[in-house]
Structures are given as structure tokens and as C-alpha cells.
Structure 1
């Protein structure tokens, strides 16, 4: 399962819907893209891109692409454009990925849940110019390093598998706790030291 950002606006357009299996808009609405079944096969090199979700160069066979909408005009190191990915959007995506991983019976590892940027390092498949997802714009003090972002995502996907209601956006309280630490969903109480 490869996590991306679209490089577009706050909600998906037709191109985005044709490139990924699931997308999370900045409204936290989840959009269905290409059916997952389209990629659950060996995709021949001559296959038309309209026959499957071509989300990751050289790694589309037996692979699911989930994208967060946003980051149009973003530059590595900032600024991140008019629509940077949001914290609430990321936690919605984490809940979705956790449900997908749980349904598929997959373990959460760097080989099964990874960012597009990690593909080259972890899977050995070159991804020139791809830096999604290497930044979480709301974590600034200190910011996560690019190689820490995937670990952060996997940690939260694992937590969402254990406690899915903490990551489901439809059960969020109306107001977030302003005292929560970075990396805690706005609608979730922070974990204590014994948890």
C-alpha cells in the first residue's frame, strides 16, 4: 500500500480519480478511484494506464495507491502551496489504510505500508523527483525528517488497527483539545506513558 499526495487541489479531479484507488480530500471525504481489483494482477508493460491505477512507477502490480489531495505548487522545504495536506486529512487516511490493511490481513511494515518517497529506498524501484509524503506541514517543532514520516504513518496505522474508533472521522467530537501533543489526532486523547 503506497501513500501519496496528489500534487493538486483540496479535492480530487478526474485525473486524480484515475490514478489512485482511494483519495482523501481536505474535507476528509473519502473518494473511490480505480477499483483495487484492477491492480491485483501482474500488469504488463504494454497495458494502457486506463486499465489500472498507475500510481507508482514500476510498482503497480499487486499494489494499492491511497492519496491525500493537495500540495499543488508545493516546493520541497516549503512553501507547501495553497492546499498543503492537513492533519485531519492525514488521520482520515490513516483510518482508511488501517481498515484496508486489516481487511487484507497484512502486517504493517515498511514493505506493506509506505510513502511514495520510500519506494526507492525500501523496494529498490527508482522514483525520480517523487517526494510525497516527506513532510507533514502541521508538525513543525521540530519537523519530521523525510525518513521519519513513513515510520510516523505506520505507527498510527498500527494504532488505528488496534483502536479504530480513535481514527474514524465520523465520530470526532466537535472541538479538539488544544493541549494535545503533535501527532495525536485532534479528536483523540493523547496516550499516557503507560499506554
Structure 2
């Protein structure tokens, strides 16, 4: 029975679905910046350094304050492990920089992964234990040209994200006494399958669809229901992709592309205004209009108060009745009228903003 090298206190209870392996791009010793981004850092001599964030902060259903931000749009439910190395490295032409990865830390990596997989019941597959360089190709989440880990400075014959990933996965699986899962299936009819997306990926993708205006996607969660299928189908149609309603690899890539098309707005919906919503009984617009009316009335009274010196002969008794309240703050009578005007203007502005926001929501489809 193998000895656990990752201390138990480093592995608190948490719901996680996978592990992303990185290199820090820094020196052979873990820096404070390294510790803030990863849960475990492996130094050049094989020493383990615990990251500042606890693994449970990255646990599902969503990350919490202080979590380890190790992979773009792939942190909720994911553990980040990094090798402290590759400072100043360049991909093309390849140069390992001033702190090349050592064989010692590379050989320590599978032992760390095995402990984490055993603790959190993570199966060793290309979709659950992978390098940063494999995330975009495997999970469909753009990573802005990340290339860790695609090269081994001590073994130039091994090259490429898949080759490096398969190597540490096979060694990890061997330590666990189970064979590593095969690579993802090849594309069928030009569409790469993407079965059972990890919950964090699905949540992030649904959030992205909402940002693009495909509000029929429904709640931002890890479920694929009729509304999500409808939103995916609409996006595929707009993007010129095969309309399948499935979250395949090409659809995932298109959704996360900078040029992803926004949802079109129907002419009838684009022409909606506050009167249309009021006629339909929209509660927000109705409340906003009541607020506007109240602010106008308040503005009228405020102006009347500001002009009190001219109207005193008509409202002297009423104004005198408010003396107890006016005496709380020693201020000229006209100032109270100006304050009332200010309050009325603020109320009007807030009501107007709420009304405009509701109209915008109706036009874009956020409001059904």
C-alpha cells in the first residue's frame, strides 16, 4: 500500500470533479504569487508547498472568496497543481528558460495526483486529469495560448500536450492500480462529441449564453433541460453550425470565441416601450410610473416651499404648524424647499432608470 505524500489537512472535504496541472512560469521555488494561484506546488527538488487557498474554496457548486484562480473559466470544482519551473521559457523556438522542469518534480507529480484522485474519487481520464495546455482542446474552454505542459526539458523526445498528459495520467493510474482511460473519441461526421460536460464548464457556458442574449437557456446551473437545448439550437442556427441542440466541441468553441454572435432581436420586441409594458400590466413599470408621479408632486411642493417668502401670506398657518420639525435643524426656510426638490429629483431619476432597465430587458429577451 502506497504512502500518502499529500498531508491529509491539505485535502479537506470538498466536491471537486478534476485536476488541472500547470507549471508556474517562475523560479524553482514557490513564490507567494504561485501559492495564491495553486493548491499544491511542486518545487524543483520534489518538495511540496501548500497553496494559500484551501481546496474547498474551489468546491462545487461555485467558488468562494479567496479561491485558487488557476485556470480561466475552469476553477469551480477543479484543483490546481503546479510545478515551480520554466521561468523565461519560450514555446517557439523551444527554450526551457532559467528554471527548466526537473525530472524529480515531474516524477513527483503522479504521486501528488494519485493522492488527490484517491481522496476525491476522481477518475483518471483526459477530461478529469489534464494539463493546462489540454483544457481548450479537451473541454472547449479558451485559454489564450497556454502551453503548460507540452514539453519536458529533460526529455526532448516527448512533445505535445497529449503526449505529456498521457504520460502523467498513465503513471497516476498505475499508482492507483487502475488503467488510465483512453483519449476522447474522434469526431463523427465532422462534429467532435463532448459527452457529459463537467458541471463547472456547463455552468460557465450557460452564463456565457446569457451574456450573448440567449436568455431561453434558463437558470445558470449544471443541468441540460429543454430550455438549454432550445438556447443551444438558437445559437447554432445564428452561428451557422449544425442545429443539434447538443453542446458539441464546435459549438463550445463558437460560444467562447470573441466573435460569438449575439442573439438577434425580433423587430416587434425591439420596438417595445414603457407604454407597451404598462398596458401589459408590468409591475415594475407601474411602480416606476407611480414613483415618477410622486416625485413630480414632491417637486411641486418643494418649489412652493423654496418660494415661501412670496407665498407666506397664503400658507402662513400651515408653515407655522411645521415649526417643531423645522427647528430640529437650524436652517433657512427656503432650504427645506430646495432639499425637497432634491429628493424629488432623485426619486424621479431612480424611477426612470428602473423603467428603462425593464424596457431594455423586454427588448433583449431577458424579460419574457
TM-score range, shorter chain: 0.7 to 0.9
- Structure 1 CA distance for aligned equivalents of residues 118 and 128 of structure 2: 12
- Structure 2 CA distance for aligned equivalents of residues 144 and 89 of structure 1: 18
Match of 1:68 among 69, 73, 83: 83
Please say if 1:156 is aligned against 2:171: yes
Cα-to-partner distance string for 1:15-61 (whole Å, 9 max, x where unaligned) = 100000000000211011021001003446xx76xx10000000000
Return the TM-score normalized by structure 2.
Answer: 0.41
- Structure 2 CA distance for aligned equivalents of residues 145 and 2 of structure 1: 16
Cα-to-partner distance string for 1:140-185 (whole Å, 9 max, x where unaligned) = 2x3333321111111111112229xxxxxxxxxxxxxxxxxxxxxx
Higher relative contact order (CA 8 A, sep 6+): 1
**Cα distance, 1:79 vs structure 2:** 1.2
Which structure has the larger Rg?
2
Which residue of the partner structure matches residue 216 of structure 2?
none
Which residue of the partner structure matches residue 55 of structure 2?
36
Which protein has the bigger helix share? 2
**Cα distance, 1:94 vs structure 2:** 1.2
**Cα distance, 1:71 vs structure 2:** 0.3
Which residue of the partner structure matches residue 96 of structure 2?
80
Aligned 8 A contact 2:86 2:97 in 1 = yes
Match of 1:53 among 68, 88, 106: 68
Which ranges of structure 1 fall in alignment gaps of 5 or more residues? 164-195
In the alignment of these two chains, the number of paired residues is 158
Cα-to-partner distance string for 1:58-80 (whole Å, 9 max, x where unaligned) = 00000000000010100004211
- Structure 2 CA distance for aligned equivalents of residues 146 and 124 of structure 1: 15
- Quote the RMSD (CA, aligned, Å): 1.6
1:75 match: secondary structure? coil
Please say if 1:97 is aligned against 2:113: yes
Which ranges of structure 2 fall in alignment gaps of 5 or more residues? 1-18, 179-368
